[in-house]
């Protein structure tokens, strides 16, 4: 799953000279390239031994290697590194950041964000697809690494699945401790991994350098023409070499595009191609090596150390995907597509390092079930790829919109470039469609389920906000009613009423007046808004407006990469002139009991689903870090 990961580096990357860029490039090796760096474990093998594999003849080997090289060049080197990474949302990348950028109102346009449903649905479905990828990657990577034991000796064959499960269980259990400590060694370890990849490939290339002819596109084209539909289906296995492509874009905010490009062109691409070419040279010499060409590249004495090294690389790739799932979910919460969940910050310095206990448990259960259900990396490869190909196609379409609206690129330039990338994306997607019956149904079904949850939550919150807005009272009218003999009894202290409507009066305020018939000396109406940008500048964080009769309107703004905090908001409110004592401040929250009703809105099953999601969402008290002994909750029933 390729999304923004909790990397052990600063989220703000500034060009500070060659040394700084080199260090960031080293860090990028451990986070950005973990997924794509473990593809040699199984990618070429699947081309010749998978469900749609072909015989490892001379021409077939050169043809497949040619397709691999040009897939890496067109999709990674050109599409992502030269074009897509330019579409940053204030320095941040990833499918949700791209969707938020597209949904922003174009300059000079009056079209609202909600007026572009197809675009946000595409972006949201692309994000949902990444969860399926996030489950498959740890399973297929660790299985592919541990399977090297069976190459060393058949005795280990029956222990591959148990060993894999133990490694994955340990990986998920250490998430609560954060990745800061182990993250320090990610970069150097992956650097060693890529050097070993290159060394294994060079060892065999020296024996058969003729395999270098595979770099010519002629062999790839000839392969597709000669094999027809069967050759087209092989593209489904070829695509496994670029499944980590989305991470290049998703992690841009952590490292910057220069270090990511430097790492790719200087080390990652050469190492990957040398290894693939080395595997190809081995197949030319011994076609029987197709059963596991990666491990058979190594001499017998190096098999066990190589299994350990490959397992470490697979764990790093899996860690990046797990951290990415945490970051993706936090973004979805901030953008209003996911209920509140517990978010634990595991680092005092790096805000990108977070841990989500509930999501971690769900991922662990999903990965374990996948390993037990598929039992081999070859079987999992059938489920792998279709989610990523669909996401890449969606990224291409959204980037085209950005090019037209943000970069002012003419159609004459944008359409041919985007069209070329889309043809490549659709070709790989078509080749992976046949995998649906082989396991590809799983990531698609999971994506459809998550997409349904996200859209239900978003729509339900919009309907609920509309109901509460109707039930609220215009603040100006309310303040007018407080004058004269109708003025309520004022009590000492400050009352903070949280409301999603920055204009009207919150229902909790009206309920408090109706039942308690008192009003605090100072009343703060607090609204927390989620912006379509990753980070909101500190000077724009809090806006304070002093109204009449002791009322204060406070609006706090947060980006989708940030977590709201009431203590932080109040601290900034003090800086803006808000006077209060925390021990004499009460926080009034509304708790709505949702009742599905036969009224226009959502289908009955979606209303019930939304009500269930609301009941299981994390409380506002803990999510916004409000002192629990200062909270008063006022309940109300709302018909959807």
How confident is the model at residue 272, as a pLDDT? 96
The single residue listed with the structure tokens 């409000």 is 626
Return the bridge partners of 355, or none. 344
- The domain limits of the chain are 38-458, 474-639
Among 26, 517, 504, CA closest to 262 = 26
How confident is the model at residue 6, as a pLDDT? 38
How confident is the model at residue 111, as a pLDDT? 43
d(CA 517, CA 504): 20
The single residue listed with the structure tokens 């080293």 is 26
* Structure confidence by residue, pLDDT tens digits, 410-432: 999 999 999 999 999 999 999 98
How confident is the model at residue 102, as a pLDDT? 84
* Structure confidence by residue, pLDDT tens digits, 327-348: 888 888 888 899 988 888 765 5
d(CA 101, CA 93): 10
pTM assigned to the model: 0.82
d(CA 528, CA 101): 20
What parts of the chain have a pLDDT lower than 50? Answer: 1-15, 107-115
CATH topology of domain 38-458: Amino acid/polyamine transporter I (1.20.1740)
How confident is the model at residue 562, as a pLDDT? 82
How confident is the model at residue 63, as a pLDDT? 96
Rg (CA), the chain: 27
User: Can you state the angle between helices 217-238 and 411-433, rounded to 10 degrees?
Assistant: 60
What is each CA distance from 261 to 33, 354, 361, in whole angstroms?
11, 26, 34
How confident is the model at residue 149, as a pLDDT? 83
């Amino acid at each position: 799953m390729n999304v923004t990961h909790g990397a052990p580096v600063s989220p703000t990357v500034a060009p500070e000279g060659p040394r700084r860029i080199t260090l960031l490039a080293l860090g990028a090796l451990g986070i950005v390239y973990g997924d794509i760096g473990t593809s040699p474990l199984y990618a070429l093998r699947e081309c010749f031994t998978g469900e749609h594999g072909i015989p490892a003849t001379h021409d077939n080997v050169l043809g497949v290697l040619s397709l691999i090289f040009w897939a890496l060049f067109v999709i990674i080197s050109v599409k992502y590194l030269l074009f897509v990474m330019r579409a940053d949302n204030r320095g941040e990348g990833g499918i949700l950041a791209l969707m938020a950028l597209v949904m922003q109102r174009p300059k000079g346009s009056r079209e609202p964000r909600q007026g572009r449903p197809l675009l946000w649905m595409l972006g949201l479905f692309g994000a949902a697809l990444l969860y399926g990828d996030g489950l498959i990657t740890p399973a297929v990577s660790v299985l592919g690494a541990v399977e090297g034991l069976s190459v060393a000796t058949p005795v280990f064959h029956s222990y591959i699945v148990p060993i894999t499960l133990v490694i994955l269980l340990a990986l998920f259990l250490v998430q609560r401790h954060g990745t800061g400590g182990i993250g320090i060694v990610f970069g150097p370890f992956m650097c060693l991994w890529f050097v070993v990849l290159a060394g294994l490939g060079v060892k065999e290339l020296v024996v058969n350098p003729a395999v270098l002819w595979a770099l010519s596109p002629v062999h790839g084209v000839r392969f597709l023409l000669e094999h027809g539909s069967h050759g087209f289906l092989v593209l489904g296995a070829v695509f496994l070499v670029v499944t980590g492509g989305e991470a290049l874009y998703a992690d841009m905010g952590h490292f910057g595009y220069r270090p990511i490009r430097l790492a790719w062109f200087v080390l990652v691409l050469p190492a990957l191609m040398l290894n693939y070419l080395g595997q190809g040279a081995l197949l030319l010499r011994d076609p029987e090596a197709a059963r596991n060409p990666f491990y058979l590249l190594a001499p017998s004495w190096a098999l066990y150390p190589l299994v350990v090294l490959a397992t470490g690389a697979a764990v790093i790739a899996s860690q990046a995907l797990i951290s990415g799932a945490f970051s993706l979910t936090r973004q979805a919460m901030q953008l209003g597509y996911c209920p509140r969940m517990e978010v634990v910050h595991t680092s005092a310095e790096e805000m990108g390092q977070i841990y989500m206990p509930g999501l971690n448990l769900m991922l662990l259960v999903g990965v374990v079930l996948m390993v037990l259900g598929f039992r081999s990396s070859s079987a999992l490869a059938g489920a792998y790829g279709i989610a990523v190909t669909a996401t890449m196609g969606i990224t291409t379409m959204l980037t085209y919109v950005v090019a037209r609206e943000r970069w002012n690129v003419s159609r004459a330039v944008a359409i041919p470039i985007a069209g070329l990338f889309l043809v490549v994306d659709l070709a790989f997607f078509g080749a992976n469609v046949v995998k649906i019956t082989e396991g590809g149904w799983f990531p698609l079904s999971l994506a459809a389920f998550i997409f349904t949850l996200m859209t239900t939550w978003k729509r339900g919150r919009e309907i609920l906000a509309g109901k509460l807005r109707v039930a609220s009272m215009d603040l100006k009218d309310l303040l007018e009613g407080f004058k004269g003999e109708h003025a309520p009894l004022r009590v000492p202290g400050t009352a903070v009423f949280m409301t999603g409507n920055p204009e009207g009066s919150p229902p909790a305020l009206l309920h408090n007046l109706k039942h308690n018939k008192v009003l605090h000396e100072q009343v703060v109406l607090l609204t927390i808004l989620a912006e379509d940008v990753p980070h909101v500048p500190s000077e724009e964080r809090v806006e304070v407006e002093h109204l009449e009769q002791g009322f204060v309107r406070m609006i706090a703004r947060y980006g989708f990469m940030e977590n709201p905090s009431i203590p932080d908001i109040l601290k900034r409110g003090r800086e803006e002139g808000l006077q209060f004592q925390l021990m004499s401040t009460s926080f009034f929250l509304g708790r709505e009991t949702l009742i599905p009703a036969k009224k226009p809105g959502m289908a009955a099953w979606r209303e019930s689903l939304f009500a269930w999601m609301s009941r299981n969402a994390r409380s506002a008290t803990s999510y916004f870090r409000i002192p629990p002994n200062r909270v008063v909750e006022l309940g109300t029933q709302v018909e959807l």
